[in-house]
Amino acid sequence: MIAQEALASLSKSFEGKIEGKTEFRGETTCTIAASDLREIARFCRDELSFDYLLDITSIDNFGEEPRFEIAYELYSMALAAHLRLKLKVSEEVGAVDTVSDIWPTANWHEREIYDMMGIKFNDHPDLRRILMWDGYPFFPLRKEFPLEGLPSEMPDVAFTKVTPMEGGPFVTRPSIATSKDREPRARPPEL
């Protein structure tokens, strides 16, 4: 089977469930409903040989409804073909089904999306924060999150005032000093 045949098979098998299809630079994007994700994902893996989940990304379309969009970047080693599955998620629903049992690499991608955007994944085996600490009340990649950060009331874990813009609290500053001397804990406290 060649890539064009595989993609034609997808379109034919899910004719009523593929809401839109675009081609750009050899990559196909299919827009689907969130409720059809698992069925289409399993078909892509089992029948069309899309055996590699490259990435999952989320987009915040603040001010629109549905607010969120999720894109699954798939690749077939056998066909050397790319496929993107896109779906929209309402802020009120705020959840989609996990695909971590279909592609195990989805596990950390879904955790990152949950951590940064607040989108939950139903039946995920370990849905907890992966970058921010447990109990952090905000989702930093949402568009309403201010660039300068927000104050935190957790003094043992984070700053209690707004985080500085100069690279963040845990990033070293560029200089000619050694790594040890650029380390944020080595610098004198700023007033």
Compute mean pLDDT per 10 residues along the chain, 191 residues long, and list them. Answer: 81 89 89 95 94 96 94 94 95 93 96 95 92 84 81 57 49 62 58 46
* CATH architecture designation of domain 3-141: 2-Layer Sandwich (3.30)
User: How does DSSP classify residue 34?
Assistant: G
The whole-model pTM stands at: 0.78
Count of CB atoms within 10 A of residue 98's CB?
A: 19
pLDDT at 190: 59
pLDDT at 180: 60
pLDDT at 132: 85
C-alpha distances (whole Å) from 20 to each of 30, 31, 32, 83, 85 are: 6, 5, 7, 13, 10
pLDDT at 167: 45
* Distance, CA of 85 to CA of 37 (rounded, Å): 8
Tokens of 128: 């907890």
Residues of the chain with CATH 3.30.460.80: 3-141
Q: Could you tell me how far CA 10 lies from the centroid of its own chain?
A: 24
Q: Which helix (H) or strand (E) holds 5?
A: helix 3-13
